[in-house]
Structure 1
């Protein structure tokens, strides 16, 4: 049963070593993400699953101890998902899960065993919802750390340039995430999300599936669009 969830964005700039001189600009976002993880720990889960968007070849499950890296951004920084380690390297974490692993390391996470789920950006809504329901089936107290960005087309300087629809899409997503509205999340259109470069859509819809019958309440912690990308932080408990 899902007992708590935290929604965070997953830009590599969340990691201060990657952001370098721009790091202080995202301090409020980092603080909100750390607060969200603290809510998960307070829920006393039996297991934590980190859910994040992944490229097609990175979709699938990741065991505790899976490694990720930010070396592709010129930073000699490696991370590990949780504290357990089966001794095998395995497939490297996709970026969304690597950022989550950094967040968990930053908070000293020890509340429950951790695994990861990479969700392909192209995954249909029905399949996302089904994946979420499957996560919630096993017995015990489940917590989810859901990683995903809103639209990357909020301003003319955004990575995808300005799209007039982006602000409205992000407002709808923020309202749904902040109020734990699973129906509204399920209603997000994959085609529109893809056009607006809102890569968090599939991960958010996995959350919607997992939380359908959980009776959780939502609380927004952060909503802004620095660098023209929509970032949302919310907790469900």
Structure 2
């Protein structure tokens, strides 16, 4: 059963070494992530599942101890998803950011497992996967990585799209109120067009949380680089 969840953005810019001189611009988002992870630890889970968007071949499960790095961003920094034996596959960037966050909060509350989620996954498959994950232990917690749209401004990576602000506003409202129905109702095609990488992971969370009666709290909702970054805590 799902007992708690933390929703965090997944840009490598959350890592100060990657952001370098601009690291302070993500201070508030980083602090909100730490707060959300504190709620996860307090929920006393038996298992923590970390979800993040991933491309092939990084989709699928990543065991505790799996390694990732930020060398692709010009930083010689390696991370580990909890403590354990190294795995052959490298963590996708979203799970590497999650591993960095967990290490900074000294996560020891429960065993950790990662799951790279393909962005094209349909809402029905997302919901079914979430239900299966929620049934994998008596007390399951989730750390859900992923971003909103990247079309909020003219300088955004995806340029400006007038539909982006409304999509992010609805996603933030649903995440902040733990509204599983609204999350599952997010339009898959529109999310793809607006490059909202968190859509599939949020819908896995929605499937896991059905019937759990969790309360949500929105801790952060900004678009500092024209990309929607949201932090929410469910418990």
TM-score category of the 2 structures, normalised to the smaller one: over 0.9
1:219 corresponding residue in structure 2: 217
Residues 41-52 of structure 1 mapped to structure 2, 5 A cutoff:
41-52=41-52
Gaps of 5+ in 1: none
1:169 CA drift (Å): 0.1
Show the 5 A alignment for 1:183-194: 183-194=181-192
Q: 1:71 aligns to what?
A: 71
Corresponding residue of 1:8:
8
Contact 2:82–2:112 (8 Å) recurs in 1:
yes
Does the 8 Å CA contact 1:70/1:76 hold for their aligned counterparts? yes
Q: Distance in 2 between matches of 1:131 and 1:89?
A: 23
User: Matched residues in 1 for 2:45 and 2:137: separation?
Assistant: 11
Q: Which residue of 2 aligns with 1:180?
A: 178
**Per-residue deviation at 1:57?**
2.1
Cα deviation, residue 58, structure 1: 1.4
133-142 or 109-118: bigger deviation? 133-142
- What's the RMSD between the two structures over aligned residues? 0.7
Shift of 1:213: 1.1
* Alpha carbons of structure 1 residues 56 and 124: separation in structure 2 relative to 1, 3 Å: farther
Deviation at 1:67, TM superposition (A): 0.4
Q: Structure 2 matches for 1:1-237, cutoff 5 A? A: 1-83=1-83, 85-86=84-85, 88-237=86-235
- Give the distance between the partners of 1:17 and 1:185, measured in 2 at CA: 33
Q: CA deviation at 1:139?
A: 3.3
Distance in structure 1 (CA, Å) of the matches to 2:195 and 2:8: 16
CA shift at 1:212, angstroms? 0.5
More off after superposition, 118-127 vs 159-168: 118-127
CA distance in structure 2 between the aligned counterparts of 1:61 and 1:233, rounded to whole angstroms: 23
TM-score (norm 1): 0.98
- Residue 204 of structure 2 aligns to a residue whose secondary structure is helix
Q: Which segments of structure 1 move beyond 6 Å, counting only runs of 4 or more?
A: none
In 2, Cα distance between equivalents of 1:138 and 1:109: 20
What is the distance in 2 between the residues matched to 1:139 and 1:225? Answer: 35
Superimposed CA distance per residue, residues 88-144 of structure 1 (whole angstroms, 9 cap, x where no aligned partner): 432100111000000000111111110001100111111111110110112321000
State how far apart, in whole Å, the 2-side matches of 1:117 and 1:89 are: 13
- Whole-angstrom distance in 1 between the partners of 2:145 and 2:136: 22
Alpha-carbon deviations, 1:9-66, whole Å to 9, x = none?
Answer: 0000000000000001110110000111011001011110001111132110010000
Secondary structure, aligned partner of 1:28: helix
- Supply the distance in 2 between the matched residues of 1:56 and 1:198 (Cα, whole angstroms): 18
Cα distance in 2, alignment partners of residues 128 and 173 from structure 1: 16
